[in-house]
């Protein structure tokens, strides 16, 4: 899951980026509204975290342009002041949630989890196929009730495959979901994560199939 942070306060942006990366999200950061508008035209994000007071284009205008392009990605607004009218304008423009600074990183994490869940259209927080179950809030996978020890990247791959169960996911899509702009993208790394993940979910009634030249598919094991 890729998140775009638009925030001109670099100390806050870095704290957000660090906290969300620790939680397993791929996080990109831009410091002005025009850069956010460009990034949103070029890439697909699972969530936009948007400050209102921004250089070049303010947060409201970024949001207005995003919704004009009919993009439905969830948007969490960060506002510097408690101004009720700002909140109303933001929500009217199509923001999904609103946080007033200062806020705790714990609260931000909880809001992000809720928005990501909503954005992916799953009403229940757990996804299950065969004996494999994935808690989308805690991002914990288990097989037959036993918690699987997965790395952050393995969780990212599994999450992506689970949301598209039975459909092919290309390496490019996995790379997109797992990496940020500033990190090196490697198809070999994806192969390694998939290989490890396949071993760890063995016995759960599902497996990751490789479709050469096309990508991967999470599917039931024929028993």
- Which residues would be at the binding site for Ca ion (CB under 5 A)? 8, 51, 53
Comparing CB distances to Ca ion, the nearer of 53 and 203 is: 53
| Triad 66, 67, 69: Cα angle to 5° | 70
Cβ pair 158, 208 in contact under 8 A? no
Comparing CB distances to Ca ion, the nearer of 54 and 127 is: 54
* CA gyration radius, the chain: 18
Q: How far is CA 99 from CA 83, 180, 217, in A?
A: 11, 24, 37
Could you tell me which residues come within 8 angstroms of residue 115 by beta carbon, excluding any fewer than 6 positions away? 47, 74, 76, 96, 97
For residue 127, the Cα-to-chain-centroid distance in whole angstroms is 16
Comparing CB distances to Ca ion, the nearer of 53 and 119 is: 53
Residue 186 CB coordination number (10 Å) = 12
CB of residue 85 vs Ca ion: minimum separation in angstroms?
A: 17
| Triad 138, 139, 144: Cα angle to 5° | 100
CB of residue 55 vs Ca ion: minimum separation in angstroms?
A: 8
CB of residue 97 vs Ca ion: minimum separation in angstroms?
A: 18
Residue 167 CB coordination number (10 Å) = 11
Comparing CB distances to Ca ion, the nearer of 57 and 190 is: 57
CB of residue 189 vs Ca ion: minimum separation in angstroms?
A: 35
Comparing CB distances to Ca ion, the nearer of 51 and 159 is: 51
**Residue of minimal Cβ distance to Ca ion:** 53
């Amino acid at each position: 899951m890729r998140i775009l942070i638009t925030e001109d306060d670099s100390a806050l942006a870095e704290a957000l980026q660090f906290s969300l990366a620790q939680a397993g999200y791929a996080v990109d950061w831009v410091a002005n509204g025009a850069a956010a508008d460009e990034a949103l035209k070029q890439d697909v994000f699972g969530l936009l975290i948007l400050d209102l007071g921004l250089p070049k284009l303010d947060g409201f205008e970024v949001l207005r342009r995003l919704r004009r392009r009919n993009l439905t990605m969830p948007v969490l607004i960060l506002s510097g002041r408690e101004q009720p009218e700002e909140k109303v304008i933001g929500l009217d423009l199509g923001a999904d949630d609103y946080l007033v600074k200062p806020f705790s990183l714990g609260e931000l994490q909880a809001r992000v989890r809720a928005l990501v869940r909503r954005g992916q259209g799953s009403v229940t927080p757990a996804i299950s196929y065969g004996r494999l179950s994935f808690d989308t809030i805690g991002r914990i996978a288990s097989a037959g009730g036993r918690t699987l020890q997965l790395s952050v990247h393995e969780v990212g791959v599994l999450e992506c495959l689970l949301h598209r169960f039975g459909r092919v996911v290309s390496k490019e899509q996995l790379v997109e979901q797992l990496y940020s702009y500033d990190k090196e993208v490697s198809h070999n790394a994806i192969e390694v994560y998939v290989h490890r993940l396949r071993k760890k979910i063995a016995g759960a009634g599902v497996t990751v199939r490789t479709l050469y030249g096309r990508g991967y598919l999470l599917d039931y094991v024929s028993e």
